[in-house]
């Protein structure tokens, strides 16, 4: 057993989770051409089931993590992601692609309600741990943009799926060898901390889930559409998919480090005040982006992605602080099932909205979603700051 290497593998698992889910969005134009679909906007809805099952399956995944064991579920995760990604690379029609992406989304759902609680169960600095983990997850998004752009240009879109699939299988073998095979399922452990009153528990869960849902909508809108939005805003200046992928990877790489800053601040600054500030900055930067073109938009895109990524650690921090480890995976699973499941419609909406009203309307919809999040978190109970 090697706890430090286990933690490294859990963080790499987060990178892998976001990487495989964003390959389709980065490659959608190439996939549409290969599969005989006239416009990428018409193919985009076929990716929505991946995100729907990414949310829906979080509930049983979290329950199995608490009842059966988190190590066992993470082994299922690595094997499932590996095999399903390789199968996606063999799709021959839009509907085959849709079904296989849905299977991959189901396996991807395991990570958040299982991997994150497994990572923080021994942590003494929860904010820092969540910040590092969040950064690694978003580096996966950066790698998806970079890897997909270059791989598509040189080897085709199918290689962009089977390469991460093989990496996942290799990580699973290493995780099997170094993680604690004697792990006790969390439900068998004696609870060590009591959460607040039942009324506050319900209020916190309800508001946190609403905020996570609107936040997930914005996350899905941005990460799944950034590639095409950037191409549109840069006009004819750049069209090479490898260069666009590199530009987006640079944004995601820089933005990922915002979570390190937030992770450190969560342990020091009142949570509600910090959360509200981040969402306000998110709203302002998206509104500014609606007015920008060319390289000005690229700078604005960097700013709003920093704010979008910075908002991610807050719900995990609240779960870590207020929910006992013996039921943390189930609590997380319920929250992710609702927020990720509902926000999967964002992926379906991107194509029709852009096709019908254009990218400007889409950016204003992102701003409205951010504003909704700001309203929701204003109702968080004051007790979270104590």
Domains in the chain: boundaries: 3-178+196-385
The residue that leads in pLDDT, 267 or 106, is 106
**Which tens digits make up the pLDDT trace of 112-142?**
889 988 888 776 777 788 888 888 888 887 8
DSSP 91: -
In terms of C-beta distances under 8 Å and separation of at least 24 residues, what long-range contacts does 173-176 make, across chains too? 174/5, 174/9, 175/6, 175/9, 175/13, 175/74, 175/75, 175/78, 176/75
Instruction: Tell me which fold the domain 3-178+196-385 belongs to.
Output: Growth Hormone; Chain: A; (1.20.1250)
Q: What is the mean pLDDT of the chain?
A: 85
Task: Please state the φ and ψ torsions of residue 287, each to the nearest 5 degrees.
Answer: -60, -45
Q: Which of 255, 242, 228, 256 is nearest to 363 (CA)?
A: 228
Minimum mean pLDDT among 2-6, 117-121, 202-206, 254-258: which range?
A: 202-206
**pTM tops 0.85, yes or no:** no
pLDDT confidence of residue 238: 66
Task: Please state the φ and ψ torsions of residue 137, each to the nearest 5 degrees.
Answer: -60, -45
Q: Which of 244, 354, 349 is nearest to 301 (CA)?
A: 244
Q: What is the mean pLDDT of residues 60-78?
A: 91
Centroid of chain to Cα 313? 11
Q: Which of 298, 319, 268 is nearest to 133 (CA)?
A: 319
Q: Which of 105, 70, 68, 69 is nearest to 85 (CA)?
A: 105
Minimum mean pLDDT among 43-57, 100-114, 285-299, 337-351: which range?
A: 337-351
3-state secondary structure of 69: coil
Q: What is the mean pLDDT of residues 41-46?
A: 88
């Amino acid at each position: 057993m090697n706890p430090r290497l286990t933690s490294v593998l859990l963080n790499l698992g987060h990178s892998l989770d976001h990487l495989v889910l964003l390959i389709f969005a980065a490659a959608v134009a190439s996939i549409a051409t290969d599969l005989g679909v006239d416009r990428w906007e018409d193919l985009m809805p076929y990716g929505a089931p991946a995100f729907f099952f990414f949310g829906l399956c979080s509930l049983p995944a979290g329950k199995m993590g608490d009842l059966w064991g988190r190590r066992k579920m993470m082994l299922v995760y690595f094997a499932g992601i590996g095999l399903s990604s390789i199968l996606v690379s063999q799709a021959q029609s839009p509907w085959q692609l849709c079904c296989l992406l849905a299977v991959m989304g189901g396996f991807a759902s395991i990570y958040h309600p299982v991997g994150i609680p497994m990572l923080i169960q021994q942590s003494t600095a929860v904010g820092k741990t969540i910040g590092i983990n969040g950064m690694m997850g978003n580096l996966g998004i950066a790698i998806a943009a970079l890897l997909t752009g270059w791989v598509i240009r040189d080897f085709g879109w199918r290689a962009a799926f089977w390469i991460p699939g093989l990496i996942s299988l290799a990580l699973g073998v290493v995780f099997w060898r170094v993680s604690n095979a004697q792990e006790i399922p969390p439900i068998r452990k004696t609870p060590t901390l009591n959460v607040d009153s039942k009324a506050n528990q319900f209020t916190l869960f309800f508001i946190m889930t609403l905020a996570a849902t609107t936040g997930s909508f914005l996350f899905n809108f941005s990460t799944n559409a950034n590639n095409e939005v950037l191409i549109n805003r840069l006009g004819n200046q750049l069209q090479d998919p490898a260069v666009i992928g590199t530009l987006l990877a640079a944004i995601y790489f820089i933005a990922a480090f915002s979570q390190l800053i937030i992770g450190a601040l969560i342990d020091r600054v009142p949570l509600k005040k910090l959360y509200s500030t981040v969402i306000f900055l998110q709203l302002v930067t998206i509104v500014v982006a609606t007015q920008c073109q060319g390289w000005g938009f690229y700078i604005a895109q960097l700013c709003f992605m920093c704010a979008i990524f910075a908002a991610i650690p807050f719900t995990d921090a609240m779960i870590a602080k207020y929910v006992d480890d013996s039921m943390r995976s189930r609590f997380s699973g319920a929250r992710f099932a609702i927020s990720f499941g509902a926000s999967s419609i964002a992926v379906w909406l991107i194509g029709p909205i852009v096709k019908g009203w254009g990218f400007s309307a889409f950016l204003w919809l992102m701003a409205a979603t951010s504003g909704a999040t700001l309203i929701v978190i204003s109702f968080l109970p004051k007790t979270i700051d104590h």
